């Protein structure tokens, strides 16, 4: 897989380089509430600009319906990226139209342009190869015949999309530093990780992670379950979970997992229950099998944190994906904080699997350098660990 260093050794001064970045940040109006993904894109962008490339960034934000939508504009991202780079970032108001052509034509060596949200064009996510290919042709034409493509958005490499997959078939393609680092870390986890190998999974739905749970259980020493998905496992054990998040259609699957791997699966001993889903809800700590009928579990309890922390302290390799509770509400953040702190305090090679877990690290003020690696792509990480092929990586490895 050719990478950014290979491209730099070939020389990029005066060349346009199309970079697919992952700049899908959370917004409150036009305010970015977590700029982690923007900051993660900086090393690749800086290497290219310092080498004299004319950098053209493509990225998506949110889930627009294949047409322009002002609330999903990348304008706030362009501003923040410019602040972090210490140089202006020109924003095209379209993807491959007049504005994009004008902005790209105006680039000078070492400057950066950001094209408007790639998902404003329905062809980006089309299942039709020809439709995606037509958009990829236009993107390739936009940057010209001597251009190169750098894939640096790990959060989207599990998608067969025009700006991720099809462009890589039309331009000389290279893995950016971010994608390369992510793949190397995940290969460590899927190869021969040091043991004990412990995985912590949280989040809301068992169905979202059933595939990766089945794939991981034969390989790990312990799999700790928190978050909303824990209540489906508790229900599978026959416990009343009150009004907690529950996927009834997954109970039989979780029963089978418990029967086959009960020695590896670790469930909460207690939970922080609330009388409603709200930051100011009344709360109480109860045993995991004693949730009141009209209450809901919103976090793991202190005994569970102690249990999980003890296992994590003795681990040599840790993968964590998904918060242990509703960490966005301070009253229900202690479980996630406790689990994360235990990982920081361990001597393990530790990987945070992107998404809400990475956001929790920053929101709760935990040291980012306390983890060996914080992924920018939760979904891509899980699919890789599940054993699925990632189209955006396969195309860089020579699948043409």
Q: Residue 3 forms beta bridges with which residues?
A: 175
Confidence band of 251 (pLDDT split at 50, 70, 90): very high
**172-194 confidence digits (pLDDT tens):** 999 999 999 999 999 999 999 99
Residue ranges for the known binding site for (2R)-3-phosphoglycerate are 37, 119, 159
Residue ranges for the known binding site for ATP are 209, 297, 328, 354-357
205 noted as active-site residue: yes
**60-74 confidence digits (pLDDT tens):** 999 999 999 999 999
Whether residue 241 has pLDDT greater than 70 = yes
pLDDT for 400 equals 43
Q: Which residue has the tokens 């940057």?
A: 143
pTM here is 0.86
Alpha carbon 60 to its chain's center? 14
DSSP string, 296-327: EEEEE-HHHHHHHHHHHHT-SEEEEES-SS-T
- CB 149, CB 20: distance < 8 Å: yes
* Fold held by 4-180: Rossmann fold (3.40.50)
The mean pLDDT value for 353-379 works out to 87
Q: Residue 374 forms beta bridges with which residues?
A: 352
- CB 6, CB 51: distance < 8 Å: no
Q: Is 82 exposed, middle or buried (0-12, 13-18, 19+ CB in 10 A)?
A: middle
The mean pLDDT value for 269-279 works out to 97
Q: What is the residue-averaged pLDDT of the chain? A: 95
Give the CA count within 13 Å in the CB-facing half-sphere of 305: 21
Residue ranges for the known binding site are 22-24, 37, 60-63, 119, 159, 209, 297, 328, 354-357
The mean pLDDT value for 237-244 works out to 96
Structure tokens, 395 = 């195309």
387 noted as active-site residue: no
Within 10 angstroms of residue 367's Cβ, the number of other Cβ atoms is: 10
Work out the percent of the chain whose per-residue pLDDT is above 90.
87
Whether residue 399 has pLDDT greater than 70 = no
Catalytic residue among 97, 362, 379, 388: 379
pLDDT for 334 equals 97
Please indicate whether residue 334 or residue 155 has the higher confidence score (pLDDT).
334
Q: Is 362 exposed, middle or buried (0-12, 13-18, 19+ CB in 10 A)?
A: middle
What's the CA angle centered on 298, arms 293 and 304, to 5 degrees?
100
CA–CA distances in Å: residue 265 to residues 26, 164, 200, 291: 32, 36, 10, 21
Taking the domains of the chain in order of start, what are their residue ranges?
4-180, 191-386
pLDDT for 353 equals 86
**122-141 confidence digits (pLDDT tens):** 999 999 999 999 999 999 99
pLDDT for 240 equals 95
Same fold across 4-180 and 191-386: yes
The mean pLDDT value for 286-298 works out to 96
Residue ranges for the known binding site for substrate are 22-24, 37, 60-63, 119, 159
Whether residue 296 has pLDDT greater than 80 = yes
User: How is domain 191-386 classified at the architecture level of CATH?
Assistant: 3-Layer(aba) Sandwich (3.40)
Catalytic residue among 355, 377, 378, 392: 355
Catalytic residue among 15, 37, 123, 337: 37
Catalytic residue among 2, 79, 170, 205: 205
Whether residue 299 has pLDDT greater than 50 = yes
């Amino acid at each position: 897989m050719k990478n950014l260093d290979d491209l730099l050794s070939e020389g990029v001064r005066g060349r346009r380089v199309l970079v697919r970045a992952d700049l899908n940040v959370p917004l409150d109006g036009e305010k970015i509430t977590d700029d982690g993904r923007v900051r993660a894109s900086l090393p690749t962008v800086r290497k290219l600009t310092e080498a004299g490339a004319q950098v053209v960034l493509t990225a998506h934000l949110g889930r627009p319906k294949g047409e322009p939508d002002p609330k999903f504009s990348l304008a706030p991202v362009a501003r923040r990226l410019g602040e972090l780079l210490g140089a202006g970032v020109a924003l095209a108001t379209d993807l491959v139209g007049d504005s994009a052509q004008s902005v790209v034509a105006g680039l000078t060596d070492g400057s950066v342009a950001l094209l408007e949200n790639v998902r404003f064009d329905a062809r980006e996510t089309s299942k039709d190869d020809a439709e995606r290919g037509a958009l990829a042709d236009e993107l390739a034409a936009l940057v010209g015949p001597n251009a190169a493509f750098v894939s640096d958005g790990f959060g989207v490499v599990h998608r067969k999309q025009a700006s991720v997959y099809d462009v890589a078939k039309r331009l000389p393609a290279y893995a950016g530093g971010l994608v390369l680092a992510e793949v190397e870390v995940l290969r460590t986890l899927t190869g021969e990780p040091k043991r004990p190998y412990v995985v912590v999974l949280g989040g809301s739905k068992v169905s979202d992670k059933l595939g990766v749970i089945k794939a991981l259980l034969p390989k790990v020493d312990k799999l700790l379950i928190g978050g909303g998905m824990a209540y489906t496992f508790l229900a599978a054990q026959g416990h009343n979970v009150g009004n907690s998040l529950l996927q009834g259609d997954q109970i039989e699957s979780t029963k089978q997992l418990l029967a086959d791997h009960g020695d590896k699966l670790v469930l909460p001993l207690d939970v922080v229950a609330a009388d409603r889903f709200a930051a100011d809800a009344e709360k109480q700590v109860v045993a995991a099998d004693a949730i009141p009928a009209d209450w809901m579990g919103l976090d793991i309890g202190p005994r569970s944190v102690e249990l999980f922390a003890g296992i994590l302290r003795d681990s040599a390799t840790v993968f964590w994906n998904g918060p242990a509770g509703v960490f966005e509400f301070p009253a229900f953040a202690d479980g996630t904080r406790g689990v994360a702190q235990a990982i920081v305090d361990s001597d393990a090679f530790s990987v945070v699997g992107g998404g809400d877990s990475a956001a929790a690290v920053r929101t709760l003020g935990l040291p980012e350098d306390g983890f060996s690696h914080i992924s920018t792509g939760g979904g891509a990480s899980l699919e890789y660990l599940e054993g699925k092929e990632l189209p955006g990586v396969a195309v860089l490895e020579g699948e043409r």
